[in-house]
Chains A and B, each alone.
Chain A
Amino acid sequence: MIPVLNAPITKSWPRWLLAFSLCTGLLGLQPQLAPVQAEEAEYSEQIYLSQDQALKQVFGSLSVESRILKPSAAQRKALQKQLRRKLPEPEYTLYVGKRSGKVERYALILDEKGKHYPITFIVSMTPQAAVDQVAVMVYRERRGDGVKRARFLKQFHGKTLKDPLEVNRDIVHITGSTISSWSIAAGVRKAVALVNTLVLS
């Protein structure tokens, strides 16, 4: 008598494991054989903060002024080299928070392309251009809005241009929002570089 072959079926787990593995494999084969057509991305606007609410959140009781920053050709070239990307915008609106005439905060509202559509967010900085707060204002896709979570955005606090400000270096992306995480990180880096180059230099 051969014990393995004559054992009750419940004890012959290798056979069950093999059968289960094959069944799982065959079930999984189905979607792969029928490739899915790339669908047009669904637009789904989610507004978390209006401009007034965002400015109120980052400036609190400070008085707010706005200034237009228009980089010169040389500044644009230097910024593009620093950020490793083209800057399509001709100018930027800088918000300055003051108390008794003294600058306490800077803020920029920027758009960065997420998966398909732009993400609008605000970055506030100290007078030395260290990041204070980042908040997502408008997200325009159905999925991936995990980047609005404080757990992700708090990572930028205190970062300066000396930091890499890059996902996989000093920023951990949000699972399920990888590309949006990259976009926000690139956008924060851009905001810090703009204030450094156009305001502090």
Chain B
Amino acid sequence: MKRWIRKSHRWLGVVSCFFLLLVSLTALALNHRNLWLTWTLPGVGAASASADFSLHTAKAWAADPFVKGHLLASSDKQLFESFDDGQHWQEVKLFIPAEHVLSIAYSPVTPEKVWVALRDVGIFYSEDNGVIWEELSDLPFDPVAGEALQALSAGAEDTLYIQSLMGNYVYHGSTQRWQRFPRAQAQQKLDLQTWIWELHTGKFLGAWGVYVYDGVAVSLIFLSLSGLVLAWRKKPGRKLALGA
């Protein structure tokens, strides 16, 4: 009986090692997506020039409801527009660097009006298709102080729906008034899923979390491999030293 348990324990350990390897390697791959995309698909991981940009690399994008084939999209640090359904792109500049544009929305009622949300800065809008920009100055929360912007969507009568790190807001453009509304249950479920994903990848700790998890993943890979080697090298008659 004892021998059977020992044998099962050993084989389960070997199988678990492969599982740990899989989890650790995929965690590393998830946290360094840009790196391996750059290695495997040249030009995809770090699109910086308009020639390299495509919708595959876009962080956010939106289609102009009034002009067929007109798209506005963002990479990590730039905004691009296309007039041919994304075949060719050209850079659209704001008066500040367009870093971390997480969401773009065209007005469904006002032609040429577009909003972009810069995660850690604020919301900028243009009423002439991105030639002249202005900052939406009266946000009821402060992205610069940490309440990062997450998403925005435009509705009828210049209504803007905004999601930040800590709440959801509606901006009524006609009256220029803000309204905060509580998060729905669905949003809470979404939050839980996001939280689990962030826990899995270490991103809940920000940039440090990725490095901490890298360390954990490398440790687990080492432990798994060394465990496999030790299991492979086990000779008949050797006693397991677990608990010794």
Tell me if B178 is interfacial: C-beta within 8 Å of chain A.
Answer: no
**A115 touching B144, Cβ below 8 Å:** yes
Interface size class of B (residues with CB under 8 A): 35 or more
A-B contact pairs, 28 of them (CB 8 A): A2-B241, A4-B230, A5-B242, A6-B241, A14-B222, A14-B223, A17-B215, A17-B219, A18-B219, A21-B216, A25-B205, A25-B216, A28-B204, A28-B208, A29-B204, A29-B205, A37-B166, A38-B146, A84-B93, A84-B94, A113-B135, A115-B144, A116-B144, A166-B97, A167-B97, A168-B77, A179-B121, A183-B96
Pick from A5, A84, A85: contact of B241, CB below 8 A: A5
Interface residues of A in 2-54 (CB under 8 A from B): 2, 4-6, 14, 17-18, 20-22, 24-25, 28-29, 32, 35-41
Tell me if A62 is interfacial: C-beta within 8 Å of chain B.
Answer: no
Chain B contacts for A113, CB-based, 8 A = 135
Binary contact readout B11-33 vs A (1 if CB under 8 angstroms, 0 otherwise): 00000000000000000000000
Tell me if B196 is interfacial: C-beta within 8 Å of chain A.
Answer: no
Give A26 Cβ to nearest chain B Cβ, in Å.
Answer: 10
Chain A contacts for B134, CB-based, 8 A = 85-86
Chain B contacts for A162, CB-based, 8 A = none
Tell me if A182 is interfacial: C-beta within 8 Å of chain B.
Answer: yes
Chain B contacts for A80, CB-based, 8 A = 132
Binary contact readout A36-77 vs B (1 if CB under 8 angstroms, 0 otherwise): 111111000000000000000000000000000000000000
Tell me if B145 is interfacial: C-beta within 8 Å of chain A.
Answer: yes
Given known pairs A14-B223, A84-B95, the reply for A21 and B145 (CB within 8 Å) is: no
Distance A37 CA – B208 CA, assembled complex (angstroms): 22
Give A170 Cβ to nearest chain B Cβ, in Å.
Answer: 12
Tell me if B184 is interfacial: C-beta within 8 Å of chain A.
Answer: no
Which residues on B are within 8 Å of A, measured CB to CB?
A: 77, 93-97, 121, 131-135, 141-142, 144-147, 165-166, 202, 204-205, 208-209, 212-213, 215-216, 219-220, 222-223, 226, 230, 238, 240-242, 244
Chain A contacts for B213, CB-based, 8 A = 21, 25
Distance A179 CA – B94 CA, assembled complex (angstroms): 14
Tell me if A186 is interfacial: C-beta within 8 Å of chain B.
Answer: yes
Pick from B95, B121, B135, B142: contact of A38, CB below 8 A: B142
Tell me if A200 is interfacial: C-beta within 8 Å of chain B.
Answer: no
Distance A79 CA – B144 CA, assembled complex (angstroms): 28
**B205 touching A32, Cβ below 8 Å:** yes
Chain B contacts for A22, CB-based, 8 A = 216
Given known pairs A41-B142, A85-B133, the reply for A18 and B223 (CB within 8 Å) is: yes
- Give the residue name and chain of the A residue nearest to B198 (CB): A32
**B144 touching A81, Cβ below 8 Å:** no
Distance A39 CA – B141 CA, assembled complex (angstroms): 9
**B97 touching A168, Cβ below 8 Å:** yes
Chain A contacts for B244, CB-based, 8 A = 5-6
Chain B contacts for A25, CB-based, 8 A = 202, 205, 209, 212-213, 216
Chain A contacts for B209, CB-based, 8 A = 25, 28
**A81 touching B131, Cβ below 8 Å:** yes
Give A20 Cβ to nearest chain B Cβ, in Å.
Answer: 8
Distance A25 CA – B219 CA, assembled complex (angstroms): 14
Binary contact readout A142-184 vs B (1 if CB under 8 angstroms, 0 otherwise): 0000000000000000000000001110000000000100110
Pick from A4, A21, A28, A39: contact of B226, CB below 8 A: A4
Give B7 Cβ to nearest chain A Cβ, in Å.
Answer: 17
Distance A182 CA – B142 CA, assembled complex (angstroms): 18
Distance A80 CA – B241 CA, assembled complex (angstroms): 76
- Give the residue name and chain of the A residue nearest to B214 (CB): A21
Given known contacts A38-B146, A39-B142, what 11 new A-B pairs fall within 8 Å (CB)? A2-B230, A5-B241, A6-B244, A17-B219, A38-B141, A83-B95, A84-B131, A85-B132, A179-B96, A182-B97, A183-B96
Chain B contacts for A85, CB-based, 8 A = 95, 132-134
Binary contact readout A82-115 vs B (1 if CB under 8 angstroms, 0 otherwise): 0111100000000000000000000000000101
Distance A57 CA – B102 CA, assembled complex (angstroms): 43
Chain B contacts for A2, CB-based, 8 A = 230, 238, 240-241
